[in-house]
Amino acid sequence: MSVTTNSELITMNLLEIALLSQGLQYISKEGTAQSPSPTGKQSRRITMLRIVAILLGLSMILMTNPGAPVVGQVEFEEDEEETVSPGAVDKEELADLKDHPLDLNSVSFDQLLKLPLIDSRLAKAIILYREQRGFTDVGEIKNVPGMSDEIFKEIASYIKVESRELPTTLHGDFRLRMKMAKPDSEAYLNADPKFQNSPYLYNRTRLKYGSYYETGCVLRHADAQADSGSEPAINFYNLWKYYLTKYWLVMQNVYSIDKIVIGDYKLQYNQGLIFYYPLATELTRPVKIKAKGIAEDGGTAPNTYFRGLVVKKRIEQFDLDFFYSNKKLDASLNPDGTVKENLIAIRENMGYITSDKELEKNDSLTEELIGGRVAYNFLRDSQIGFMGYESKYNPKINPLEEKGYYIFRGERNRVFGFNFDTWYRKLNLCAEYAKCISYGEAWLIQPMLKLSSFTLWATIYKYDPDYYNEHSSATTIVGRKDEDWNENGVFLGGKYEDREKEVQIYFRPVHHPWRENNLMPTTDKEFWFDIKQRVSRKLELYFRQWNHWYEKKIENRDLYQSWKKTRVQVTWNPDGRVRFRMRWDGRKNNIYELKQVDKGYLIFGDLKYSATVKLKLEGRLIFFEAEPGVAMSEIEFLWPMGLTPFHWWTYGKGVRYYLIITQEVTKNTKLWMKYENTHYYNDYGINKPENKEELDKIIGSRRHVFRLQWDVKW
């Protein structure tokens, strides 16, 4: 008599889900073969059949007996929130540190700043304690001045103490990603040839020697656009010219140099007015940045950040950084050979090659940058720094006049600035100033008070519209990210937090001094209030109100407008293995003088289930409806630890659902899979496409996507 284990039951159930999904795709395809476009009722029936199949599969999994339930409680999750917070950590880095903890006897100052709740003051105290006594056990870090039980609990999973007698080891990791997207009527196997574009492929390989050396690279092959022509063939030459996105070599504590990065790198200093890069899981900018200085760049966007050499050296109380970059960028050219795009647009275009048009722009612009930073550390936790750089562009940046007045044009740009950061007990004061030579300036001043349960802040800032610096980012009103500069304002806020509750409120009134072609409002005001309340160990309630008022010219009149977003959410964690969440989002847009009101809503329910220690499941079902001009969205994982505001629905009614499976195959191998489907009920009012444009609308409105990530470490 054979015995079926729980893991075998789980595997059988997953196979049933896969077969049901593929069978429904086949049914959908057969139906499409008989009729070029299914009716609305048939489309809804097919969609609901797929949803029912997934829910049945999840029910079968839930009916298995994976073991005694674990008593758990609701955790305040920030992985899918757009909230502004006083500080933030990079969760992708933390996931990596969990696999490769930091050795307290060799960790650097910059590496300590990657840990949650560790600021520059505490990082310096840890380094000083190590120099005076050394660490023999992880628990000894509690003896460091400023370390609390709460901080130790947050960082314990990411630190270790290795015996100094152990030999230095060679280790690394390998990551492979694949994505295939198809119209809803096409299965992944035996699809119509016009939908058989090459899939998205991604590989990141890293090799590390001890804690001091690391080398790595990223290869990326994007899925080709429809009717894009020929993509570069995958051969040895094209692999390095077109598909090698990033590469780097990092060396620490080499020949008295603290850190050297050769290859692709990124910079983040002060509050970002000169150099800034967002965290991998950053949806909104934190109020106070925990600047990380220099870091290797393992991203996927060829047009972003720098390629060259950066060096960091500490001499007593001075920090010295030097950086040089010579990077090729993708840009469109004017007939005279100059660049017709502005620098910010070039960076936002990423530099991916998915069509012949993008291939023509490849490596058409060179930016050569050289700069440095000097910082002086005084008292225990204060710093003043000076920084600057010069960029040379070849060919010349020369966008057309109709592109705008306040746009950088020329062959050379120079920026310099300084910053100040100090603490007095619980009060922090930071300030930063930046100047673009021959053009405008930007500055901010921010006091912040941190008490046991309260954090209060006020940011006063002024950004000129002719402060040209595509390497920077600024704290601005939400929704104006593309126009970081050209804003003067005040940002006032506070947060209260204890074991049962989180309350946050802020208000930001701003003014825009330049209104080119009346595209910018004269004034903006933003108000935010949210509260999380843990009702019991298993139940959490959340409410948010987010209002935005502004004046903008429409038909030669300044009209007062607003949008208001409301969110209500319930989270239930019955036993530690299962987490249910229900959310309602509503949005209302008003143009008061015209008495015009547009509305939209979004409702979703999701389930996270830890079937075993190694197998985790997640599913979400979303219903949405939005009137023209109303944008509704929800946040989800595009890839593990890679959040994105997904599907900004600006018109239409429909449903979206996805299923995520995470399986730890072995101690060093993990698989992550995601199947997602989006379906519009209205299909833009088109039943039978008469031309390619109408066909593309239907294809774009109904599709399913499969994603896979495979991680191996050694």
Q: Are 413 and 468 in contact (CB under 8 A)?
A: yes
Distances (CA, A) of 224 to 48, 242, 544: 31, 13, 40
Residue with more model confidence, 292 or 547: 547
Interhelix angle 6-34/40-62, nearest 10 degrees = 170
Residue with more model confidence, 210 or 372: 372
Rounded distance, CA 566 to CA 581, Å?
Answer: 17
Question: What string of DSSP letters covers 243-306?
Answer: IEEEEEEEEEEETTEEEEEEEEEEEE-TTSSSS----TT-SS--SS----EEEE---S-TTSSE
Rounded distance, CA 212 to CA 260, Å?
Answer: 10
Q: Is the pLDDT of residue 397 over 60?
A: yes
Q: Are 99 and 157 in contact (CB under 8 A)?
A: no
Place of tokens 């050219």: 333
What are 659's two structure tokens?
């299923």
Q: Which pLDDT belongs to residue 320? A: 96
Over pLDDT 90: what percentage of the chain? Answer: 37
Distances (CA, A) of 492 to 261, 287, 296, 507, 556: 38, 10, 34, 5, 33
Handedness of CA 679, 680, 683, 687 (dihedral sign): positive
Strands of 425-538, DSSP E: 427-436, 441-450, 454-463, 487-497, 501-511, 523-534
Q: Is the pLDDT of residue 644 over 80?
A: no
Lowest-confidence range among 165-179, 571-585, 656-670? 165-179
238 φ/ψ angles, rounded to the nearest 5 degrees: -65, -30
Q: Which pLDDT belongs to residue 322? A: 97
What are 416's two structure tokens?
């310099």
Q: Is the pLDDT of residue 226 over 50?
A: no
Q: Are 106 and 137 in contact (CB under 8 A)?
A: no
Q: Among 677, 678, 683, which Cα is nearest to 651's?
A: 683
**What's the pLDDT band for 618 if we cut at 50, 70, 90?**
very high
Tell me which DSSP letter residue 224 carries: P
Q: Are 98 and 114 in contact (CB under 8 A)?
A: no
Average pLDDT over residues 471-481: 71
Rounded distance, CA 331 to CA 362, Å?
Answer: 7
Residue with more model confidence, 203 or 66: 203
What 3 state SS string does 635-652 have?
A: EEEEECCEEEEEEEECCE
Q: What residues does each domain of the chain span?
A: 88-161+211-416
**What's the pLDDT band for 27 if we cut at 50, 70, 90?**
very low
Q: Is the pLDDT of residue 711 over 80?
A: yes
Q: Among the ranges 179-188, 192-201, 508-517, which has the highest mean pLDDT value?
A: 508-517
**What's the pLDDT band for 14 if we cut at 50, 70, 90?**
very low
Average pLDDT over residues 302-317: 91
What value does the mean pLDDT of the chain take? 79
pLDDT tens per residue across span 661-673: 999 999 899 999 9
Question: What string of DSSP letters covers 593-625?
Answer: TTTEEEEEEEEEEEEEEE-SSSEEEEEEEEEEE
Lowest-confidence range among 217-226, 258-267, 387-396? 217-226
Q: Which pLDDT belongs to residue 79? A: 46
Q: Which pLDDT belongs to residue 381? A: 81
Average pLDDT over residues 329-354: 84
Residue with more model confidence, 197 or 144: 144
